[in-house]
């Protein structure tokens, strides 16, 4: 392979890339459509920045994924086990699967390069509004306010249990006049 080769992929899924070390670069175009040729040329010639990020985890070897490992996960094959295909990995798909298995992917979820570099700073946490109430008070009056958080706001769908499951562990509760005017905060532990 010419050492200055740039490989342009038009694939819908990760492919094995044993030749990667011999390529100058790789551009994943996914499904570029009718304007794929000009779009690719614009990226290769530097007229457009390849600023996209991978929406998936790209394995180093295809057998690192659950779907491509029939020996370790026969329940995921088209034959299944006893004729039944089961998605036994639950929420551990994509990057979560790689993290849980201790596998290093070739390219992680969100990977991507561009023609510039970025610095990260000024982290601010985004909060989710789970409850609010409007209170009318006379001058000098105080009032005890109880806000109930719907249990569903603390849940996720569990494939294993086939139901909504409460996320347990520590959570920080913020109380404020607005999202930028926090007056109180406390940590609570959500038990199972």
CATH of the domain at 185: 2.60.40.10
Are residues 191 and 129 located together in one domain of the fold? yes
Q: Summarize pLDDT for 72-112 with one digit per residue, the tens.
A: 677 777 777 888 877 777 778 888 889 888 999 999 988 88
Question: Which of 67-81, 126-140, 149-163 has the weakest average pLDDT?
Answer: 67-81
Res 37 pLDDT > 90: yes
pLDDT of residue 70: 67
- Beta-carbon count within 10 A of 91 CB: 14
Are residues 32 and 69 located together in one domain of the fold? no
70 belongs to a structural domain? yes
53 belongs to a structural domain? no
Q: First-to-last CA distance in the chain?
A: 57
164 belongs to a structural domain? yes
Are residues 68 and 94 located together in one domain of the fold? yes
HSE of 118, CA atoms in CB hemisphere, 13 A: 7
Whole-number Å distance between alpha carbons of 11 and 68: 17
Are residues 67 and 40 located together in one domain of the fold? no
pLDDT of residue 27: 94
Q: Which two tokens stand for residue 125?
A: 């946490």
CB 76 within 8 Å of CB 70: yes
Res 124 pLDDT > 60: no
Average pLDDT over every residue of 128-152 = 81
Strand partners, 107: 58
Res 131 pLDDT > 60: yes
Are residues 39 and 74 located together in one domain of the fold? no
For the chain, the domain total comes to 3
144 belongs to a structural domain? yes
Are residues 31 and 91 located together in one domain of the fold? no
Full residue range of the structural domain in which residue 16 is found: 6-44
163 — phi, psi (to 5°)? -165, 170
107 belongs to a structural domain? no
């Amino acid at each position: 392979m010419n050492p200055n080769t740039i490989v342009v992929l038009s694939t819908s899924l990760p492919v094995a890339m044993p030749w990667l070390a011999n390529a100058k670069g790789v551009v994943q175009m996914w499904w570029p459509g009718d304007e794929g040729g000009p779009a690719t040329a614009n990226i290769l010639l530097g007229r457009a920045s390849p600023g996209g990020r991978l929406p998936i985890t790209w394995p180093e070897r295809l057998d690192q994924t659950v779907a491509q490992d029939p020996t370790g996960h026969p329940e995921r094959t088209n034959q299944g086990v006893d004729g039944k295909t089961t998605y036994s990995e639950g929420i551990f798909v994509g990057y979560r699967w790689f993290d849980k298995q201790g596998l290093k992917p070739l390219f992680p979820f969100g990977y991507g390069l561009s023609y510039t570099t970025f610095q990260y700073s000024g982290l601010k946490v985004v909060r989710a509004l789970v409850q609010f109430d409007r209170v009318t008070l006379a001058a000098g009056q105080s009032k005890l306010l109880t806000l109930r958080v719907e249990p569903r706001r603390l849940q996720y769908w569990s494939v294993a249990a086939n139901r909504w499951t409460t996320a347990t562990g520590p959570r920080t509760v913020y109380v404020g006049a607005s999202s930028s005017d926090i007056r109180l905060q406390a940590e609570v532990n959500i038990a199972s």
